[in-house]
Amino acid sequence: MADAITEEKVIDLTSPEYYINRELSHLQFNIRVLEQALDERHPLLDRLFFLCIFSKNLDEFYEVRVANLTQQLAYAREQAGADGMHPQQVLSAIHTLCSATVERQYHILNDTLLPALKAENIHFLRRADLTDAQRDWVRAYFEEAVQPLISPIGLDPSHPFPRLVNKSLNFIVALEGKDAFGRQTGMAIIPAPRSLPRIVRIPDELCGSGDNFIFLSSMIHEYADDLFPGMTVKGCYQFRVTRNADLELDHDDTADLASVLEDELHSRNFGEEMRLEVADNCPEDLANFLLHQFSLEQNDLYRVNGPVNLGRMMEVIGQINRPDLQYTPFTPGLPKHIKFNKSIFESIRDKDVLLLHPFESFTPVVDLLREAAKDPNVRAIKQTLYRTGAKSEIVNALVDAARNGKEVTVVIELRARFDEEENLYLANRLQEAGAVVVYGVVGYKTHAKMMLIVRKEGDKYKRYIHLGTGNYHAGNARAYTDYSFMTCDDSIGEDVHKVFQQLTGMGEALRIKKLFHAPFTLHKKLIEMIDRERGHAEAGKPALIRLKANGLTEPKVIRALYKASQAGVQIELIIRGMCCLRPGVEGVSDNIRVRSVVGRFLEHTRVYYFLNNGKDEIYAASADLMERNLLNRVETAFPIENNKLKERMKTELEAYILDNCQAWDLQQDGTYVRAQPAEGEEPVLAQNILLETLASAS
């Protein structure tokens, strides 16, 4: 009798069942942000901040991601991702998830945060709560500051429905009676003045104590009758429309990117409508009227129990002087050899510098550029800028360097979404100072974070390099976690020089020794390193991969990770936001664990770690593990070769692996479960550990 032949099940790793939809995964990240508003480990005003951030994130999600899906349908360009979901299916799932989450958001505001704020003597007053003195002040404010700026629009054949600005606050008003011309339209629109704050502080002398605010929308509701003399306001309801705000440029037809971008920026306020938010008490007929005017469906309507733009509540946090309700400020740390050296160049020559912001200071990065701007031995400076900030110390130093006769070349990415206008301003400022400004490569966003300084030392030129995982933005460096690496390693200096040559000049891709750079080698090298780790596992050797990034969506990288898992490689992924990999699937991803850490600071570091049979390798990078970063952007990944710095980074990664308070573990179905300390286990918060070990040394 012939032996029975057992056939192994062949697993098709391209099958949609092994992939999570990127848009739904993106929403799951926003849900984790919203959950921070309920986490009592955060101070109260920071919990309000998380609620506001959720609103802003959701706005951008509709302005960009939902807009992209809608356009795919409109122009018959439907593209299913690796998960196989059709855009129409994704939009339907988005609506279901967003409807429930937005309703939860307003419950958190009304049932948790506002009562907690009230208990701390911070009040958002309703019209019925006002005292006579407060009511008199509100009326005076309305008459003096609000009414002169309002232009109510009655709707009739000569006054068609106005074109309303993206995310602006507006009111639809039901009217009764005739106006001075005998018109009886029954309806009007009140656009709220965009120049006014959405929340107004009532003078302290009119209040018993504490902090007291009133919403602009409450004022307009209260005095809407004054805007329509002789008529009766039967109802006044706030609403807001969110539009497509993603700029589209025809690269084949673009002779001057800056001028084309300037023309397109204005259109962002009037793109196609994506979502309508209305007050939950708005009558059905008025809501349907608005839907019709915006060519939207019922699925695009969100009824909300509160202000239609909760993101604007962030304005009040800076007006409340309650240090006890916010995180205690800290002083970022500084490595000792930087602290005591007179020159930053001297510090870098002593040894490579690694900084982890915000736990460690961003100041050395700024100081490096400031010193270079003044140093007579510095001949040239080259820099990439993606998001920098309008009042940037980095740009100030570059301007000074250009005026001091240095050869300054700046690669500014004009298409950094929602920072385009600011970057145009910075480009003009740098050019006026004498810097050479280029806009990178058409079709490929320049997302790499690089600074190169050429200094004459003796009879030779020496290159000093800064490479980072985050932007040259001092504000971000206080709120985002990012690595900064400074070195004068000759090979890395030569590599960075070649990348700048490719950005500013033309020619074939140059051979680079130590850096991996997209769109040329980074994607290929990542897969090679994953496959190498798989080979070690197949040979019976210990094998470990740890990757930290903001997103993991690129299918070939995911498939390589699946194959490595099947071979027995232990894979630990710390992915803050979107993750399309499905962990814990039997026979596919049994050895893969995915977690997201959401805490006081926004996790932004990108780190790739490979055990490599005991000869471990670790890279920091500007690139997430996404198609756009690995294939369609200019990115860099740079090695950390100093053993002491490598051990330090491994320890810092380990903190995120061990976090049992602010980490969320991805489940097979795409949802996340928050990690909790086991019984008797000590709480571990990665960000707190880093604060204690790095900032406390300052």
CATH number of domain containing 674? 3.30.870.10
Q: For residue 2, is it within any domain? A: no
| Contact (CB, 8 A) for 14 and 590 | no
Position 518, amino acid: A
Residue 537 to residue 514: CA distance in whole angstroms: 26
Identify the pLDDT of residue 140. 96
Identify the pLDDT of residue 696. 61
Question: Is the same domain home to 434 and 357?
Answer: yes
Angle of the 643-658 helix axis to the 686-694 helix axis, nearest 10:
140
| Contact (CB, 8 A) for 662 and 691 | no
Position 374, amino acid: K
Tokens of 630: 């690995």
The CB density around residue 464, as the number of other CB atoms within 10 Å, is: 23
Identify the pLDDT of residue 40. 95
| Contact (CB, 8 A) for 413 and 424 | no
Q: Among residues 34, 21, 26, which one has the least CA distance to residue 598?
A: 34
Identify the pLDDT of residue 389. 75
pLDDT 10s digits, 173-212? 999 877 655 666 689 999 999 899 999 999 999 998 899 9
Domain of residue 543: give its range. Answer: 517-697
Tokens of 382: 């080259």
Alpha carbon distances (Å) from 42 to 39, 47, 311: 6, 6, 19
Q: For residue 5, is it within any domain? A: no
Q: For residue 4, is it within any domain? A: no
Q: For residue 274, is it within any domain? A: yes
Annotated active-site residue in 123, 447, 473, 523:
447
Q: What is the pairing mode between strands 602-603 and 480-487?
A: parallel
Identify the pLDDT of residue 303. 97
Question: Is the same domain home to 315 and 423?
Answer: no
Q: Among residues 407, 409, 420, which one has the least CA distance to residue 380?
A: 407
Identify the pLDDT of residue 253. 44
Cα angle at 382 between 377 and 386, to 5 degrees?
Answer: 145
- Intervals of the chain under pLDDT 70: 1-8, 157-158, 179-185, 247-269, 415-419, 696-698
Residue 429, H or E segment: helix 420-433
Question: Is the same domain home to 285 and 358?
Answer: no
Q: For residue 532, is it within any domain? A: yes
Number of domains in the chain: 3
Torsion of the alpha carbons at 575, 578, 584 and 585, rounded to the nearest 10: -150
In the block, tokens 């504000």 appear at 475
Question: Is the same domain home to 664 and 543?
Answer: yes
Q: For residue 550, is it within any domain? A: yes
What length does the chain have? 698
Q: For residue 265, which phi and psi values (nearest 5 degrees)?
A: -60, -40
Identify the pLDDT of residue 248. 61
Q: Among residues 12, 644, 39, which one has the least CA distance to residue 351?
A: 644
Question: Is the same domain home to 412 and 559?
Answer: no
Identify the pLDDT of residue 2. 43
Question: Is the same domain home to 368 and 408?
Answer: yes
Tokens of 641: 């070769």
Position 580, amino acid: C
Domain boundary among 325, 356, 386: 325
Tokens of 676: 């909790």
> In the annotation, is 466 catalytic?
no
Residue 522 to residue 578: CA distance in whole angstroms: 20
> What is the CATH classification number for the domain harbouring 274?
3.30.1840.10
Question: Is the same domain home to 102 and 119?
Answer: yes
Angle of the 522-538 helix axis to the 555-567 helix axis, nearest 10:
10
Domain boundary among 325, 345, 366: 325
Identify the pLDDT of residue 156. 75
341 burial class (0-12, 13-18, 19+ CB within 10 angstroms)?
Answer: middle
Residue 69 to residue 66: CA distance in whole angstroms: 5
Question: Is the same domain home to 133 and 279?
Answer: yes
Complete DSSP assignment for 240-300? EEEE-------GGG-S-HHHHHHHHHGGGGG--EEEEEEETTS-HHHHHHHHHHTT--GGG
Rg (CA), the chain: 28
5 burial class (0-12, 13-18, 19+ CB within 10 angstroms)?
Answer: exposed
Q: For residue 331, is it within any domain? A: no
Question: Is the same domain home to 547 and 464?
Answer: no
Q: Among residues 554, 573, 592, which one has the least CA distance to residue 668?
A: 592
Identify the pLDDT of residue 561. 98
Q: For residue 188, is it within any domain? A: yes
Question: Is the same domain home to 440 and 559?
Answer: no
Question: Is the same domain home to 495 and 586?
Answer: no
Question: Is the same domain home to 316 and 450?
Answer: no
460 contacts: CB under 8 Å, gap ≥ 6: none
Tokens of 513: 């020794």
| Contact (CB, 8 A) for 388 and 395 | yes
Residue 634 to residue 441: CA distance in whole angstroms: 9
The SS3 of residue 15 is coil
| Contact (CB, 8 A) for 624 and 548 | no
253 burial class (0-12, 13-18, 19+ CB within 10 angstroms)?
Answer: exposed
Position 527, amino acid: I
- What is the number of H-type helices and E-type strands within the chain? 21, 27
| Contact (CB, 8 A) for 277 and 226 | no
Identify the pLDDT of residue 103. 96
Q: Among residues 286, 580, 260, which one has the least CA distance to residue 442?
A: 260
Identify the pLDDT of residue 391. 79
The SS3 of residue 161 is coil
606 contacts: CB under 8 Å, gap ≥ 6: 469, 548, 549, 550, 620, 621, 622, 623, 624, 637
Single pTM value for the model: 0.92
6 contacts: CB under 8 Å, gap ≥ 6: none
| Contact (CB, 8 A) for 581 and 459 | no
Domain boundary among 510, 543, 564: 510
543 contacts: CB under 8 Å, gap ≥ 6: 533, 534, 536, 537, 564, 567, 568, 569, 570, 611, 613
